[in-house]
Structure 1
């Protein structure tokens, strides 16, 4: 886990924004991997959507392995 002491202060915007970008990328990667593993374990899109706090349709539209755009390195 990330220790909150490792997160830069918002008083240093350059470091804080860099951390935001890194955390977003980490979260997206974790989410994609978790969806792939959930599908492999037989989870339904309804179950995945519930776990993510969204509808099955929204989860499928955004995260379906055959529908999502490849991850872009920025």
Structure 2
């Protein structure tokens, strides 16, 4: 689902359409977060810095994205 499609579907009066769009947004956000965390780690960011940027604890960021 592309961004324009998601935006249009979020305005739908059909809850099923809106909920599918919300799911697509969640998946997109997860992909963007993972890519951004990977870039931050490549650039030497600490887990504390990443957690702060995400608004979560260092441990939470590491648990979710650490390998």
Q: TM-score range by the shorter chain?
A: 0.7 to 0.9
Q: Deviations over 1:29-58 (max 9, x none)?
A: 000000000000010000000000011011
- The structure in which a higher percent of residues are helix is 2
Instruction: Indicate conservation of the 8 Å contact 2:10/2:22, yes or no.
Output: no
TM-score (norm 1): 0.75
TM-score (norm 2): 0.82
Query: Distance in 1 between the 2:23 and 2:38 partners?
Result: 23
Which position in structure 1 is the counterpart of 2:23? 21
Q: Deviations over 1:3-30 (max 9, x none)?
A: 7953423621111011011000000000
Give the secondary-structure state (helix, strand or coil) at the position aligned to 2:10.
coil
Query: Distance in 2 between the 1:10 and 1:47 partners?
Result: 38
Give aligned pairs, total.
Answer: 64
Which position in structure 2 is the counterpart of 1:61? 63
Q: Which runs of 4+ in 1 moved over 3 A?
A: 2-5
Which position in structure 2 is the counterpart of 1:49? 51
